[in-house]
Amino acid sequence: MLRLLLILVVTSLTLAVPHERLLAQRSSTSIYKLVDSPVNWYEGKESCEAMGCVLAQPKSEQEYNAIFALLPTSEFYWIGVTDLDHEGRFTYDTDNQDIVYNNWDLEEPDNDNGEEHCVDISFSNTYWYDYNCNLQDDGAVCECPPDGVRGDPHMRTFDSRAYTFQGTGWYILLKDCTNKPRFEVTTKFEPREDSTPDQVRTITTTFNITVGNQYAVVNGLDVTTGSTDGQMTDDKVITIQEEDKNIKLYFTSKDTTFTFNWTLRNHALDVSYNGSFYNGKLCGLMGNADGDTRNDFQKPDGSITKDVNEFGESWKVNDKKRF
């Protein structure tokens, strides 16, 4: 394919794009994140895997549209589709199944020079191209499991750092760390039944979302709402949707809606948000959400530690009044 012309067009566009970008974009089924630095296809795949994700495999127009809500800094990004195994037959990287959706540009895939086996997408025109897997693109689109806490607790920060922490009691999961904090979410971890004194494994049992003076506490499938100062207004800032085995809660602050999806069956609390105001302004066990995975173990005093237990314990809430 002819790249030069497109690149010239995009250079002028990128100047207008603000530096701040969405960290993640969710379709109903997946969360997409960007590797926003030059990589060949194999390096893109490795970078996604380092975040516990895979190269994106959009399987519908809806999923593909979710990718375009990411704001990249350049144009061409790899996805997890190739014909490396069978020339001309494009399959998903993770299961080798034939693709069920595509958005090829006219006359693509063209296997130019017989060397183009990996698919990249253009953020300027949304089309798909085949391209040489060993050449660098501007980045890669990854598809990730939800952020939050699942099971043991297996934690995943907003910047996609996965870790295991087994403290018991109440901890700050995420908090507004601006100088006028407005919200705080705490979770209670309790030992699982199969824990032994030598090996404690914990699960999330209860969590408390507090926004302004209002809170919603979810314990199993019981929801209690109230206010921290006894003053309850008619304006509910936390929206609660109770479904069969799921509870979804959300609230909005500044330009951002925070969404919590609680599934009791696997003690999973998925957390996501969609605005940009709080990028880098959050703190707690889900990290600072500044787009950098390496500095996620930030303690309340702002210092960074490498030790997962030191990090985890630093967010413990010592308040006997809580249940």
Counting contacts by CB under 6 A, is residue 108 touching ligand NAG? no
Least Å distance, CB 7 to ligand NAG, is: 29
99: its two tokens: 């693709």
Q: Is the peptide bond before 300 cis (omega within 30 degrees of 0)?
A: no
Binding-site member from 208, 214, 253, 288 for ligand NAG (CB under 6 A): 208
Least Å distance, CB 260 to ligand NAG, is: 10
Least Å distance, CB 155 to ligand NAG, is: 16
Is 168 or 305 the residue whose CB approaches ligand NAG more closely?
168
Compute the residue count for the chain: 323
CA distances 94 to 7, 118, 215, Å, are 30, 14, 42
Least Å distance, CB 210 to ligand NAG, is: 4
For residue 254, the SS3 value is coil
Counting contacts by CB under 6 A, is residue 212 touching ligand NAG? no
Q: Which of residues 243-302 bind ligand NAG (CB under 6 A)?
A: 246, 248, 255, 257, 261, 263, 268, 270, 274-275
- The alpha-helical segments, DSSP class H, found in the chain are 4-16, 41-50, 61-67, 308-314
128: its two tokens: 């798909």
Counting contacts by CB under 6 A, is residue 228 touching ligand NAG? yes
Least Å distance, CB 168 to ligand NAG, is: 17
Angle value at C-alpha 49, between 294 and 71, nearest 5 degrees: 70
Is 121 or 185 the residue whose CB approaches ligand NAG more closely?
185
92: its two tokens: 């998903």
Phi-psi region of 49 (alpha: psi -120 to 50; beta: other; left: phi over 0): alpha
Binding-site member from 91, 160, 210, 214 for ligand NAG (CB under 6 A): 210
Counting contacts by CB under 6 A, is residue 122 touching ligand NAG? no
Q: Are 172 and 189 in contact (CB under 8 A)?
A: no
Distance separating alpha carbons of residues 45 and 93, to the nearest angstrom: 9
Least Å distance, CB 167 to ligand NAG, is: 17
Counting contacts by CB under 6 A, is residue 205 touching ligand NAG? no
Count Cα neighbours of 281 within 13 Å in the Cβ-side half-sphere.
Answer: 17
Nearest one of 81, 80, 67, 77 to 26, comparing CA atoms:
67
Counting contacts by CB under 6 A, is residue 63 touching ligand NAG? no
Counting contacts by CB under 6 A, is residue 145 touching ligand NAG? no
Task: Tell the residue number behind the tokens 């032994």, with chain if given.
Answer: 196
Give the x/- contact pattern for ligand NAG in 156-185, rule: CB under 6 A.
----------------------------x-
Q: Are 161 and 152 in contact (CB under 8 A)?
A: no
Q: Are 153 and 308 in contact (CB under 8 A)?
A: no
Is 84 or 221 the residue whose CB approaches ligand NAG more closely?
221
Least Å distance, CB 156 to ligand NAG, is: 13
Residues found near ligand NAG in the complex (CB under 6 A): 184, 186, 208, 210, 215, 217, 228, 246, 248, 255, 257, 261, 263, 268, 270, 274-275, 322
